[in-house]
Amino acid sequence: MGSRIFSLCIWFTVLLILNGSQAQPGFVSLDCGGKDDFTDELGLKWVPDSQMISGDIANISVANETRTQYMALRYFPADNRKYCYTLDVIPRNRYLVRATFLYGNFDKNNVYPKFDISLGTTHWATIVISDANTMEYQEVIFLAKEPSVSVCLSNATTGQPFISTLELRHFNGSIYMTDYENDFFMSVSARINFGAESDDPVRYPDDPFDRLWESDTIKKANYLVDVAAGTERVSTKMPIDVNTVNGEMPPQKAMQTAVVGRNGSLTYRLNLDGFPGFGWAFTYFAEIEDLDPSDSRKFRLVLPGAPEISKLVVNIQENAHGKYRLYEPGYFNLSLPFVLSFRFRKTYDSTMGPLLNAMEINRYVKRTEGSLDGPVISSLISHYGSSSWANEGGDPCLPVPWSWIRCDSDIRPRITSIKLSGLNLTGNIPSELTKLSGLIELWLDGNSLTGPIPDFSGCPDLQIIHLENNQLSGQLPSTLEGLANLKELYVQNNMLGGSVPSGLLDNGVILNYTGNVNLRKGESSRSRRKIIIGSSVGASALLLATIVSCILLQKGKKSSPKKGRVELNLPPQRFVSSLGDPATEAAHCFTLAELEEATKDFEKKVGSGGFGVVYYGKLKDGKEIAVKVLTNNSFQGKREFSNEVALLSRIHHRNLVQFLGFCQEDGKSILVYEFMHNGTLKEHLYGKFLSYFD
């Protein structure tokens, strides 16, 4: 027993902590635009909405309205932003949220506002003000899924969005539990106390959950009209047992009054806000009249267009198992029109006309799932809790995006643009930004961000990045080259170093990296391609010249039928080398003895080709050479040799093997080249077939 009392004490303490200084556990009552805490005539404690840092406050004066919570309001600009209140809740509990709006011509414009109100990401209702002195209100019932819920105002089409009060009420047990609560809210369309004794609604403390049970005496356009003749108001002071299993527990005060159809029927017509659609509809009955033993009260509901519903016969006293007890038949999912006409009609064997105590109709509102990037952005703004831009509230994209965010138009949108320029951000670039897979534009310029630029490969759609005028350090990451859609990259005036990745220089990216003292332009792959292409062109030119020489020599053979050995002794001459200064360097005429000594009598063969064999050699000055001995010693071959010597002395390029000289002695025709340890361009392109050989 003692442990149970201790547990109850702990639970009561938790409730007090959860609800602060609220007089009622689970109640939050915000006086929007108010300045002080106060307790109203009902015993409800009100607090100002001081946590809302946006908007302005206005005081109003409305005839016959003296309640403190309606003397001021908070209003917001008519822009494309949303303005949100955040309310703490307990997940898997059901709540009622009520928002009230009393215009009072606060802006002195007499322009009746029209704007939207949303619960979280879900559009809840459109607020339409039609009279400056008439209060409008909206109620919604929902199952909490997260530790908090937001109520947002947005999309003003006339006037400015405003709010007078915002109230949160906690339900207990299974009240308002449905099979659809995970996917739908219930927006209250009608909650009526029939037979009411005044115009005032029944609410707290008569209703422990502070629901508003409107009096059926209130006259509205097309609301509770077409009342049947013989309708009579009745009441009792007897207590009503409303504690049914899994019931909605309407207040006793609402159940102690009723209307009775003395002529055998009750008829009403009312407009249902938000319908046609599917809704939740319940009626509440309790027998509060004294019936003679011979009397009976039995009746049916007649609903036009729904003949199957009228089959149910209501016998209140029998269904409720006694007098002054609640019976609440209803439908959890019923299709209803905008204009609802209904009738209760007594059965043929009933002596008493139908009786109705109360009725409640709620419209199902499909929950809208939040944006896919919502959790990422929640983590991001947690680093900047005191900044106004991080406290706009609600989902970053729905129902409208935050002022510094743009989103796509998908049902569950992704963030496409973030603009946080000039907001004095410090520290490293938040890692959360690298997880926004749909991001196209990122603007972080004009802040005091430090550290390296992170890897944005998780944002493959990025096109525009502005990081200029910060204090970023490190190198431009090579991963930026992998952003195939990148068009603009601005990183000027930081403290970056190293080389600019070549891919950023080649891909047509608009790049500005000035003002980074240690950041230099690296060699682009395009420049490297130019070198390779130039080398290839040079090699091709040499190959082409060789082919032309061969063709000319072939023609010479055909035109010279002489036979026998003819010695062609070229005089020692100097062929100008293109690799150096023509005045100081020329093709040298080597003696055979020099080459035999250099090659150790042609000892080390390093390759062969179609026109000769190549040997390795080293001159007396240590210069390494490649000695190519031609195999064709005919007259035509020697003429070919002469042409090749002349050609190699003219064609040159810094990426071609240097031609050093020649030798023509003792029937041998020899060409001498610089030896290449690492091979030549052609060798790397085609394998181990040295360009000397061909």
Q: How far is CA 381 from CA 51, 78, 413, 432, 466, in A?
A: 17, 25, 19, 10, 20
- Tokens 């890692």 — which residue? 431
Q: Is residue 557 part of a domain?
A: no
Structure tokens at 458: 């998780």
Query: Please, which pLDDT band fits residue 570 given cuts at 50, 70 and 90?
Result: very low
pLDDT in tens, 628-637: 888 765 444 5
Q: Is residue 658 part of a domain?
A: yes
Sheet bearing 257-261, strands edge to edge: 231-235, 257-261, 355-356
Residue 304's pLDDT is 86
Q: Is residue 16 part of a domain?
A: no
Last residue of a domain, one of 467, 485, 520: 520
- Rounded-to-integer distance, Cα 278 and Cα 363, Å: 6
Residue 142's pLDDT is 97
Lowest mean pLDDT among 152-161, 246-255, 469-478, 606-615: 606-615
What number of other Cβ atoms are within 10 A of residue 178's Cβ?
18
Long-range contacts at 236-239 (CB < 8 A, ≥ 24 apart): 236/288, 236/289, 236/324, 238/288, 238/324, 239/324
Judge contact between 649 and 577, C-beta under 8 A. yes
193 and 133 co-located in one domain: no
Residue 20's pLDDT is 38
pLDDT in tens, 642-690: 667 777 776 666 667 788 888 888 778 888 888 887 665 555 555 544 4
Element (H, E) at 553: helix 525-559
| Residue (of 679, 631, 633) closest to 655 by Cα position | 679
Q: Total structural domains in the chain?
A: 4
pLDDT in tens, 536-557: 545 454 555 555 455 554 554 4
168 and 28 co-located in one domain: yes
* Strand intervals (E) in 89-164: 94-101, 114-119, 122-128, 136-143, 148-158, 162-163
∠651-656-658 over CA atoms, to 5°?
80
∠304-308-311 over CA atoms, to 5°?
105
Residue 311 in marked binding region: no
Q: How much is the average pLDDT of 513-526?
A: 79
501 and 608 co-located in one domain: no
- Tokens 């510094």 — which residue? 404
Write down the pTM of the prediction. 0.70
Structure tokens at 385: 């809790």
* pLDDT above 90 as % of the chain: 66
The domain of 352 spans 189-368
Query: Please, which pLDDT band fits residue 253 given cuts at 50, 70 and 90?
Result: very high
Whether omega before 399 lies within 30 degrees of 0, making that bond cis, reads: yes
Which domain CATH number covers 339? 2.60.120
pLDDT in tens, 268-298: 999 998 899 999 999 999 999 999 999 999 9
Lowest mean pLDDT among 43-47, 462-466, 555-559: 555-559
**214-215/184-193 β-pairing:** parallel
- Rounded-to-integer distance, Cα 210 and Cα 212, Å: 6
Q: How much is the average pLDDT of 352-367?
A: 97
Side chain identity, residue 580: G
- Tokens 């939040």 — which residue? 370
Structure tokens at 320: 């409720």
404 and 456 co-located in one domain: yes
Judge contact between 643 and 660, C-beta under 8 A. no
Residue 1's pLDDT is 39
- Rounded-to-integer distance, Cα 581 and Cα 586, Å: 9
Which domain CATH number covers 426? 3.80.10.10
Q: How much is the average pLDDT of 397-424?
A: 95
Name the average pLDDT for the chain: 85
Last residue of a domain, one of 353, 368, 383: 368
Judge contact between 398 and 366, C-beta under 8 A. no
| Residue (of 443, 663, 439) closest to 569 by Cα position | 663
503 and 620 co-located in one domain: no
Lowest mean pLDDT among 197-201, 453-457, 523-527, 626-630: 523-527
Residue 691's pLDDT is 43
Please state at what angle helix 525-559 crosses helix 635-650, rounded to 10 degrees.
Answer: 150
Residue 456 pLDDT greater than 70, yes or no = yes
Residue 576's pLDDT is 33
